[in-house]
Amino acid sequence: MRYIEDDLKDKTVLITGGAGFIGSNLAFYFQNNHPDAKVVVFDSFRSGEMLSNGNLKSFGHFKNLLGFSGEIISGDINDKVALKKLEEDYTFDYVFHEAAISDTTALEQDLMIKTNVNAFKDLLDICVRQGAKMIYASSAATYGNAESPQRVGRENPNNVYGFSKLSMDHLSAQYREKTDISIVGLRYFNVYGKGEYFKNSTASMVLQFGHQLLAGKNPKLFEGSDKILRDFIYIEDIVQANIKAMNPSEGGVYNVGTGKARSFQSIVDILQRELGTTATCEYIPNPFIGSYQFHTEADIKLSVIGLGYAPAYELEDGIKAYVSEIRRIYEEEVK
């Protein structure tokens, strides 16, 4: 679906983290809907380097870009030489900044701040010098255990990832005050959909439950999963918000969710209907009490006004649209 009518001919778009989940979906959106735009993907492709928690440092994967015909550059946003070369070689009209240490359980606070906050400032400076519009990934993790529905201005992060994203939001506010470039931060809630498989253990529970069911296993849920509610948002609505953020009525930080909280139990129930399975759920103790959001629900009123954003997918719609891809990934990558 095409979300803007703007002619992007002769426009240059940078997507950092473009081999990741959301970045790759944006790359294909432009390729399919705005083929005259020049799209540059910049990504620190995975090398096998691990964080101390055992998860990969980078989730970028070439398979997310199979079929993409734009330019692809392997580079780290922490590398100032690489960023300088990027600025020398291109003049960007739009920067979609998706690159980050996105693992909410990562313990490396120094790396988190360096990658998510300090490198963001370097990219903002490039945007100022080139007059580019910045659209960047913030996160619902900024809210922590704040009361639902979550609203901008009521943040209380309970991990360093959420803190780093809130710091990005504060930094973007400073730049909006002192420059005339357009800067929009998008606070993603629980995203699921095509392209997330290579996030490994941090992929959504929609995908993980789907593969458990396809493997003939009983899905494992935390105790009280019918009362653990999250705002699950399908990737197509994330893409929609990003594209509409290219021409906001006003720069700022906006929630990107459905505005409806749903349970993890609901995910399994919908998947069972779509996959035709009848597995028995197993309930296990929740080891993340104290660092785990038990209820998220995006207040999207400002997003509707400021971006013209309107979520198109309920959880049932998103899982229905996603289930063929869940099957494909299981057959080709898991089985």
Question: Minimal CA–CA distance to 149: which of 66, 258, 48?
Answer: 258
Let me know the angle formed at the C-alpha of 73 by 119 and 160, rounded to the nearest 5 degrees. 30
Q: And the tokens for 197? A: 């498989």
Q: Indicate if 199 belongs to the active site.
A: yes
Is 322 designated active site?
A: no
Catalytic residue selected from 90, 136, 143, 161: 161
50, exposed or middle or buried, with CB in 10 Å at 0-12, 13-18, 19+?
exposed
Q: Which of 29, 199, 309, 322 is catalytic?
A: 199
Active site residues: 161, 199
